[in-house]
């Protein structure tokens, strides 16, 4: 069928008066390459859709992030196979002897085999990252000193992006220790200061009641914050501490909001403050 299509195209180009046979052959080759590219692209879309549908069927309503990761990996594999496939057929269209190249590949393979060891490690590591669900696309992880969201898990590398739009690309085989902070709710400590001389028992009793009302104000907060009391008495005031639990990813925004609420509470109840609030942790 392919040969018939090639012959038909050649005849069509040859029938044009101002095109000689050489140019007809060139145009036929060029057209066949375009056809192969289009067919390869369509095949990639079909394979990605089919396998993603089947692989994701078990995750519907259970783990959408893992399903998204699988979809990206299938797409990456399909793209790799498409490139290899197109490279072979395009060389064939250009008259390159594929058999000779394949025969030579054994000799070349010995030369580059040692250099390809890291590539193989990255591929295997990437497979196990997904198979063992270490992390998925869209989850927040901590790798070394870098905290960010996984935006892509490729065949060789994993890409992480932080809140400053800084991107970290790590070889899969280098990912040995990683903290996944997206699987469970996040707990957060908040510290603030009140002035020396504050009646801490009176403040604590009333502040706990206040925290009961604050929890209903934020839909991302889980439960009522726990008030621990004094954590330090140096640096110009008495440092008090509480802890809250929230949906992961919301802890920084909720911490800032709580600090503002605490400041307003102290002002409304004439509770002395040393003039500043402690900066939210981790920012």
Q: Tell me whether residue 258 is in a domain.
A: yes
Residue 133 and residue 62 share a domain: no
Residue 76 and residue 15 share a domain: yes
Q: Tell me whether residue 273 is in a domain.
A: no
Q: Tell me whether residue 274 is in a domain.
A: no
Residue 204 and residue 153 share a domain: no
Burial zone of 233 (CB within 10 Å; 0-12 exposed, 13-18 middle, 19+ buried)? exposed
Q: Is the pLDDT of residue 107 over 60?
A: no
Q: Tell me whether residue 275 is in a domain.
A: no
Residue 77 and residue 6 share a domain: yes
Domain end point (choices 85, 112, 139): 112
Phi, psi of 244 (to 5 degrees): -130, 160
Residue 173 and residue 191 share a domain: no
User: What does each C-alpha distance from 77 to 45, 157, 173, 242 come to in angstroms?
Assistant: 12, 13, 18, 48
Task: Please check whether residue 78 is in contact with residue 48, taking contact to mean a CB–CB distance below 8 angstroms.
Answer: yes
Looking at the DSSP bridge assignments, the partners of residue 148 are 141
Q: What's the CATH code of the domain at 203? A: 3.30.70.100
Residue 41 and residue 96 share a domain: yes
Q: Tell me whether residue 98 is in a domain.
A: yes
Residue 139 and residue 66 share a domain: no
Residue 7 and residue 102 share a domain: yes
CA distance 148 to 3: 52
- Kindly state the tokens that stand for 84: 């290899």
- Kindly state the tokens that stand for 36: 């192969």
**pLDDT for 57:** 60
Beta strands, E only, the chain: 140-143, 146-153, 157-161, 167-171, 179-180, 186-194, 221-232, 238-246
Domain end point (choices 143, 160, 180): 180
- Kindly state the tokens that stand for 100: 């000779």
136 vs 279, which has greater pLDDT? Answer: 136
Residue 155 and residue 84 share a domain: no
Closest by CA position to 70, among listed 87, 39, 93, 49: 49
**pLDDT for 63:** 56
**pLDDT for 104:** 60
Task: Please check whether residue 197 is in contact with residue 272, taking contact to mean a CB–CB distance below 8 angstroms.
Answer: yes
Q: What's the CATH code of the domain at 132? A: 2.30.30.60
| Residues 6+ positions from 167 with CB-CB distance below 8 Å | 151, 159, 160, 161
CA distance 86 to 34: 10
Average pLDDT in the 236-241 region? 90
Q: Tell me whether residue 280 is in a domain.
A: no
Q: Is the pLDDT of residue 120 over 90?
A: no
| Residues 6+ positions from 82 with CB-CB distance below 8 Å | 40, 41, 43, 44
Phi, psi of 105 (to 5 degrees): -60, -30
Task: Please check whether residue 222 is in contact with residue 247, taking contact to mean a CB–CB distance below 8 angstroms.
Answer: yes
How many beta carbons lie within 10 A of that of residue 262, not counting itself? 22
Q: Is the pLDDT of residue 89 over 60?
A: yes
**pLDDT for 99:** 66
Residue with tokens 């954590």, as numbered in its chain:
231
Residue 170 and residue 121 share a domain: yes
Residue 95 and residue 21 share a domain: yes
Domain end point (choices 56, 89, 112): 112
Residue range of the domain that includes 155: 117-180
Q: Is the pLDDT of residue 283 over 50?
A: no
Q: Tell me whether residue 282 is in a domain.
A: no
Task: Please check whether residue 150 is in contact with residue 73, taking contact to mean a CB–CB distance below 8 angstroms.
Answer: no
User: Per-residue confidence at 39, pLDDT binned at 50, 70, 90?
Assistant: confident
Residue 167 and residue 128 share a domain: yes
Highest mean pLDDT among 34-43, 44-53, 64-73, 235-244: 235-244
Number of domains within the chain: 3
Q: Is the pLDDT of residue 279 over 70?
A: no
């Amino acid at each position: 069928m392919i040969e018939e299509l090639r012959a038909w195209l050649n005849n069509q180009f040859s029938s044009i008066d101002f095109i000689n046979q050489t140019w007809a052959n060139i145009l036929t080759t060029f057209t066949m390459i375009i056809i192969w590219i289009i067919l390869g692209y369509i095949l990639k879309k079909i394979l990605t859709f089919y396998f993603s549908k089947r692989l994701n069927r078990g995750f519907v309503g259970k783990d959408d992030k893992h399903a998204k990761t699988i979809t990206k990996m299938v797409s990456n594999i399909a793209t790799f196979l498409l490139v290899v496939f197109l490279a072979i057929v395009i060389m064939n269209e250009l008259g390159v002897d594929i058999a000779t190249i394949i025969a030579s590949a054994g000799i070349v393979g010995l030369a580059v085999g040692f250099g390809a060891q890291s590539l193989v490690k990255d591929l295997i590591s990437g497979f196990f990252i997904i198979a063992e669900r270490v992390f998925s696309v869209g989850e927040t992880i901590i790798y070394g000193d870098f905290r960010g969201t996984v935006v892509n898990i490729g065949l060789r590398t994993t890409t992480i992006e932080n809140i400053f739009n800084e991107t970290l690309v790590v070889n899969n085989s280098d990912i040995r220790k990683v903290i996944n902070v997206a699987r469970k709710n996040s707990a957060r400590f908040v510290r603030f200061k009140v002035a020396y001389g504050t009646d801490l028992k009176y403040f604590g009793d009333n502040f706990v009641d206040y925290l009961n009302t604050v929890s209903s104000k934020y839909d991302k907060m889980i439960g009522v914050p726990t008030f621990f009391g004094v954590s330090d008495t140096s640096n110009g005031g008495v440092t008090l501490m509480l802890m809250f639990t929230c949906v992961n990813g919301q802890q920084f925004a909720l911490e800032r909001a709580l600090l503002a609420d605490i400041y307003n509470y102290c002002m409304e109840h004439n509770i002395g403050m040393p003039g500043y609030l402690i900066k939210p942790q981790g920012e």
